[in-house]
């Protein structure tokens, strides 16, 4: 799993199930594993509880892109929407954000929500 996630970046969103799997990966450096443990602690997520790790952590600046991907993945918005159809993804993200928690980790802000 470490080969798929080598950093926690404020420019990518992460599923905490994937991050929790890095904790069991012998190839993952200890400092990276500690970063994940610290992040989970900041968001009060128990990495050993499978129900508690069903969370997506989304950097604030990536939230509109995350919302678009989520709405396309669940079929709410068709993936083949014509280019001439304009959707204000920032405004859509603001509306969706009511269902998420915004929390700070270090100097970065992240949205998250348990599924």
Tell me the pLDDT tens digit for each residue of 86-109: 999 999 999 999 999 888 877 788
Per the structure, the complete domain to which residue 73 belongs is given by 14-114
Query: Which residues, listed in sequence order, are joined to residue 112 by a DSSP beta bridge?
Result: 57, 101
Locus of tokens 């068709």: 78
State the pTM of this model: 0.72
Domain assignment of residue 8, yes or no: no
Asked if the structure places residue 85 within a domain, the reply is yes
* Number of C-beta neighbours around residue 4 at 10 A: 9
Please name the residue that has the structure tokens 């470490």: 2
In the chain, how many domains are there?
1
pLDDT digits (tens, 9 = 90+) for 46-68: 777 777 667 788 889 999 999 99
């Amino acid at each position: 799993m470490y080969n798929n996630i080598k950093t926690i970046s404020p420019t990518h969103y992460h599923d905490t199930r994937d991050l929790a799997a890095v904790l069991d990966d012998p190839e993952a450096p200890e400092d990276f594993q500690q970063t994940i443990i610290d992040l989970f602690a900041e968001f009060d997520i128990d990495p050993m509880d499978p129900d508690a790790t069903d969370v997506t952590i989304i950097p604030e600046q990536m939230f509109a892109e995350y919302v678009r991907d989520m709405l396309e993945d669940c079929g709410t918005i068709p993936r083949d929407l014509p280019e001439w159809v304009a959707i204000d993804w920032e405004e859509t993200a603001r509306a969706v954000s009511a269902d998420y928690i915004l929390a700070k980790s270090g100097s970065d802000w992240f949205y998250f929500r348990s599924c």
